[in-house]
Amino acid sequence: MHKVAVIGASGFTGAELLRICASHPQLEVTVATGDSMAGRPVADLYPSLAPAYGDTQFVPYEPGVATGCDLAFCALPHGASQSVVGELRDDVKHVVDLAADFRLDDPGLYPAWYGTEHTAPELLTEFVFGLPELFRGAIRGAELVAAPGCYVTTAALALAPLVAAGAVEPAGIIVDAASGVSGAGRPAKPNTTFCTVDEDFTAYGLLTHRHTPEIEMAVSRHAGTDVQVLFTPHLAPMNRGILATCYARPTAGTSTGEVLNLLADAYCDEPFVVVSERSPSTKATLGSNSVHITARADDRTGWVMAIAALDNLVKGASGQAVQCANLALGIDETAGLASAGIYP
């Protein structure tokens, strides 16, 4: 049994890590930090976790809190991990960060897209990008893993095989994606209250969303060529889920059968990827670590369209982090992770 610490366990991704680890055969949560909830039982904030965590209390983060653990998950807001990872390395061998703090390999991209300088740029080259379906070899045994988030995972898995095969042009790619409200995190915000979100559907981050360079980096690195993406995220009135519709120009004549076969061949051995003619839906992935993908080639307009859906808190966050932890620790990659969704 591997002992793990969840740093930032009081947020949605932290709670999802607690839920997944509760049924994991080889991961035991021994530390759950949550500064805003320190001293309160986990079950008070998340009654759904009461059967697994009983009287376990959130504790404040402080240096040394993860001593004795084998791995630490960082489920903190963006920016917070930059000051924490250096301290955690003294306590644990493996760190999996769920924030964007160490995903980008170019420190110059952080002030451009996040508005602030990176405070630990020397660590960027030590992190591996934690998208197993594209970069599994680098994640095995890795000490520092930066797990990508929901938008990036959905778009990259839909596009990467097509770009890598030379089936679509790497420039001028369009990604339209919609997310459930849980993607904004647990703290209340004016734009995520029930009255704001209910019966509404809105685009945001127009031309400037911070995950744009991350999508470009992930697909470019896998395909071995520079990629350009126009990314527009949307907020949908649902709790969970991501649906990404991606458009690219084909490099030559193609068909729906050919692009579907490319995706099916690329993911034929992947336990958490479903490729089919069915149009993906967020509901089909609920509670699972799976991503559902389809594609079409349109002769009339000359576009190739790839669509992917996943649960933003599982494959888009905490499930992916556990998948990376499994690889880093050398245990079964699928351990503790559901491939089938919950329905209805």
CATH code (residue 300): 3.30.360.10
Note whether 211 and 108 are same-domain residues.
no
Buried b (16+ CB within 10 A) or exposed e, 295-326: bebeeeeeebbbbbbbbbbbbbbbbbbbbbbb
Q: Mean pLDDT in the chain?
A: 96
Adjacent-strand bridge partners of 177: 233, 244
- 319 and 214 fall within a common domain: no
211 and 191 part of one domain = yes
Q: Is the pLDDT of residue 195 over 90?
A: no
- % of the chain exceeding 70 in pLDDT: 100
pTM for this entry: 0.97
- Residue-wise pLDDT tens digits, 140-184: 999 999 999 999 999 999 999 999 999 999 999 999 999 999 998
Number of domains forming the structure of the chain: 2
pLDDT tier at 186 (50, 70, 90 boundaries)? Answer: confident
CATH code where residue 7 lies: 3.40.50.720
Q: Is 195 one of the annotated active-site residues of the chain?
A: no
List pLDDT tens digits, range 247-299: 999 999 999 999 999 999 999 999 999 999 999 999 999 999 999 999 999 99
150, 195, 246, 268: the catalytic one is 150
Long-range contacts made by residues 92-95, C-beta under 8 angstroms, separation at least 24? 92/5, 92/66, 93/143, 94/70, 94/142, 94/143, 94/144, 94/145, 94/325, 94/328, 94/329, 95/71, 95/143, 95/144, 95/145
Write down the pLDDT at residue 190.
Answer: 86
Same domain, 165 and 79: no
pLDDT for the residue 55: 87
Least confident of 23-32, 194-203, 247-256, 261-270: 194-203
